[in-house]
Amino acid sequence: MSTQMPENKKTVIEVENLSVGYDGNAVLKELSFSVRESEIFVILGGSGCGKSTLLKHMIGLYDPIGGDIRIKGRSIVASTEDEKDDILKQFGVLYQSSALFSSLTLAENIAVPLKEFTSLSDEVISAMASVKLSLVGLEGYENFSPSEISGGMKKRAGLARAMALDPEILFFDEPSAGLDPISSADLDKLILELRAKYGTSMVIVTHELDSIFAIADRVIMLDKASMGIIEEGDPREMRKKSPNPWVREFLNRSDLKE
């Protein structure tokens, strides 16, 4: 079970009056929230509410309609391209599909950001790739291709690549998607272990309630109708005491295994 983050932890991500969408059409409006150091912060909501859209804007893939996103005090929105590239080095991303390059080995996949953003020698990069694979339980799989490993192992390899530059922040888009319950629980355990060992802040989009109650320190609940945040807090408390009936219903769905 996740333990709650002390309130005096430093803020590492600030989202202020953020409106996001596509082609000028807003999906979410005027969102404001923050993520603290070492916190596991989960973005929740029903289908089509904009969870992944919000995440894609937070990692700089799209420019917002309005508002600001600051990573450790530095604005992604107001930055130059060079400044933005420097900010992006501070976090890693695990995409829903793992997004591994099928033509590369696992070690070569992990080497990609190291080659792009550092001047390390090939020998050092190879050694670092092995270390990152070991951290996620894939020691000895350096020369395997993505097609030769299971879905759960692909997620772990994707996480190893996200950690290549030793980021202080990790973003996850539906990390348990496509995994069986055992693999999903193993990934939750790994996330908690990495947070405990490195103090990494994590922002996770997921609808898996088992995972939410196992790892989340705090969540925001997005609402499609209002295009905003309707509640924020500890999901275990929200499940019992939320003043919003829909939030309680969402967090107490019958498919949740106690």
Q: Which helix (H) or strand (E) holds 107?
A: helix 106-117
- pLDDT value at position 90? 87
CA–CA gap between residue 125 and residue 165 (Å, rounded): 11
The answer to whether the predicted template modeling score (pTM) of the entire model surpasses 0.85 is: yes
Q: How confident is the model at residue 112 (pLDDT cuts 50, 70, 90)?
A: very high
- Crossing angle between the packed helical segments 106-117 and 122-135, to the nearest 10 degrees: 120
User: pLDDT by residue (tens digit) across 44-88?
Assistant: 998 889 999 999 999 999 999 999 999 999 999 999 989 988 898
User: Where along the chain do its domains lie?
Assistant: 101-166
